[in-house]
Amino acid sequence: MCASLGSILVLPVPRRSSVRSVVVVGAGVIGLSCALVLSERGWSVTVISRDDVGSASVDGSASVAAASLWAPTLVERSERVRQWAYVTLAELRRIAAAEPEAGIREQAALTLGEAAWTPDPWMRGFGGPVRDARADELPVGYGAGAVSVVPLIDTARYLPWLHARCRRSEVEVVHRDARSPADAAPDLMHGTPVVIAAGFGSGALVDDPSLTSVRGQIVRMTNPGLTRTVMVRDGALGPLFVVPRFDDVVIGGPSQAESSDIGFDEGLERDLVTRARAIAPALDDATVLGRAVGLRPVRPTVRVERERIGETDVVHCYGHGGAGYALSWGTAVAAADLVEQIG
Ligand SMILES: Cc1cc2nc3c(=O)[nH]c(=O)nc-3n(C[C@H](O)[C@H](O)[C@H](O)COP(=O)(O)OP(=O)(O)OC[C@H]3O[C@@H](n4cnc5c(N)ncnc54)[C@H](O)[C@@H]3O)c2cc1C
């Protein structure tokens, strides 16, 4: 039941004999992963969330809007991030094999480029091998591309699965707004640590101006039988991704820097659908199932650290940018280790 990388154990860790309480602010992929790791270690966990992220209709939540792939983007390129990504990869693969209902599967991804794709050194060795696409795999208008196989984490299945796993582990989820770390735990015993895992909302909670939002808009369509992800990273028209999942296809594209507008842009959706149909003509007859806007919490570095704020011991776990799913288990273990260091 456990995945390991070097000396890092993901799950499970032996239960503690005396139960201690901890509050986690945020019920996106980061908050729920932290809650689950802490609960598995024997902590009594209360999650506080402004929104019901388990519902697919929440606008602004990055976790709901993501498709999502194990492919860290918009995040610091450091050794610790690489390590968190590998820990998460191992755990996602373990979950995929053990619990199919979690909505994770390995899926081919074709990245289209003007020139032959050169692996980014930081990404080299991530996941499985990468090969050049054959000419018959390329859509009209593209001369080169690369094919890799990475886990797809179908957020429409994975988030409800995470919620259910938290419920089974007796994690309590309370829907309310927290105005500060102290406000998050008013009814609990003095000394209860608070994990700040509120995505873009963390900046206002702990007064962190270095946290910005990068807006992403997606449209979900019926799946006409696509089985392969297709991505354009750059190019004249900007990024585009077409991600077939278990029950739909998610189409998205531009990462709109420092935008916290969660309103829906109809023109952008028309453009995304037109471009997606050009590279995947089977989508011509597909119909729209839903849409979402998410704010990626971007920071120069992912914040996983301890801080004493007033009378409250805080563990930060936010700022995952475009890599929250790809880093979730790695940072949850790191945050739980910090909680356990609080005396
Ligand atoms: C279009 C798009 C595509 C993406 N694709 C990928 C991908 O392929 N792979 C990948 O790894 N990542 C991807 N990401 C990034 C990933 O989704 C995020 O990094 C991740 O979801 C961040 O999770 P989070 O839990 O920190 O934040 P969120 O999901 O935004 O959750 C924040 C939580 O905090 C709560 N909250 C906020 N403020 C407060 C408050 N004051 N009081 C109480 N609760 C509060 C909210 O209600 C919510 O529960 C994508 C994101 C987008 C938008």
Here the CATH number for the domain that contains residue 302 is: 3.50.50.60
Contact 200, 299 (CB under 8 A): no
Q: Residues 59-77: what's their mean pLDDT? A: 87
Asked whether residue 329 is domain-assigned, the answer is: yes
Q: Residues 17-26: what's their mean pLDDT? A: 84
Find the 295 Cα to ligand 1 centroid distance in Å.
7
Within 10 A of 149 (CB to CB), how many other CB atoms are there? 16
Asked whether residue 181 is domain-assigned, the answer is: yes
Asked whether residue 110 is domain-assigned, the answer is: yes
Say how far apart CA 92 and CA 329 lie, in whole Å.
8
Asked whether residue 16 is domain-assigned, the answer is: no
Q: Hey, is 164 helix, strand or coil? A: helix
Q: Is 296 annotated as a binding residue?
A: yes
Question: Is residue 255 very low, low, confident or very high in pLDDT (cuts 50, 70, 90)?
Answer: confident
Q: Which residue's CA is the closest to the ligand 1 atom numbered 51?
A: 66
Query: CA nearest 62: which of 28, 19, 112, 11?
Result: 28
Q: Is 325 exposed, middle or buried (0-12, 13-18, 19+ CB in 10 A)?
A: buried
Q: Residues 117-130: what's their mean pLDDT? A: 64
Asked whether residue 191 is domain-assigned, the answer is: yes
Asked whether residue 13 is domain-assigned, the answer is: no
Which tops the pLDDT comparison, 234 or 245? Answer: 245
Q: Which residue's CA is the closest to the ligand 1 atom numbered 18?
A: 324
Query: CA nearest 250: which of 29, 69, 59?
Result: 69
Asked whether residue 15 is domain-assigned, the answer is: no
Q: Residues 158-179: what's their mean pLDDT? A: 95
Mean pLDDT comparison of 57-71, 117-131, 169-183, highest-scoring range: 169-183
Lowest mean pLDDT among 47-61, 200-214, 279-293: 47-61
Q: Residues 69-75: what's their mean pLDDT? A: 88
Its domain, for residue 171, covers 21-341
Find the 53 Cα to ligand 1 centroid distance in Å.
9
Q: Does position 117 have pLDDT exceeding 90, yes or no?
A: no
State the closest ligand 1 atom to the C-alpha of 69, by its place in the atom list counted from 1. Answer: 8
Q: Does position 58 have pLDDT exceeding 70, yes or no?
A: no
* Number of domains the chain contains: 1
Which tops the pLDDT comparison, 108 or 119? Answer: 108
Which tops the pLDDT comparison, 56 or 300? Answer: 300
Say how far apart CA 56 and CA 340 lie, in whole Å.
33
Residue with tokens 């929104």: 51
Q: Residues 43-58: what's their mean pLDDT? A: 77
Chain centroid to CA 231 = 18
Say how far apart CA 148 and CA 132 lie, in whole Å.
9
Asked whether residue 96 is domain-assigned, the answer is: yes
Find the 51 Cα to ligand 1 centroid distance in Å.
11
Question: Is residue 128 very low, low, confident or very high in pLDDT (cuts 50, 70, 90)?
Answer: low
Q: Is 69 annotated as a binding residue?
A: yes
Say how far apart CA 191 and CA 281 lie, in whole Å.
58
Q: Which residue's CA is the closest to the ligand 1 atom numbered 19?
A: 324
Determine whether the shortest distance from the Cβ of 84 to ligand 1 is under 6 A: no
The H-or-E segment that residue 150 falls in is strand 144-153
**How high is the pLDDT of residue 118?**
62
Q: Does position 88 have pLDDT exceeding 90, yes or no?
A: yes
- Chain mean pLDDT for the chain: 88
State the closest ligand 1 atom to the C-alpha of 64, by its place in the atom list counted from 1. Answer: 29
Q: Is 67 annotated as a binding residue?
A: yes
Say how far apart CA 237 and CA 251 lie, in whole Å.
15
**How high is the pLDDT of residue 343?**
65
Find the 84 Cα to ligand 1 centroid distance in Å.
17
**How high is the pLDDT of residue 185?**
83
**How high is the pLDDT of residue 234?**
74
Q: In terms of DSSP H, where are the helices of the chain? A: 29-40, 62-65, 79-98, 155-168, 181-184, 202-206, 266-279, 324-341
Question: Is residue 204 very low, low, confident or very high in pLDDT (cuts 50, 70, 90)?
Answer: very high
Q: Residues 267-295: what's their mean pLDDT? A: 95
Lowest mean pLDDT among 117-131, 161-175, 202-216: 117-131
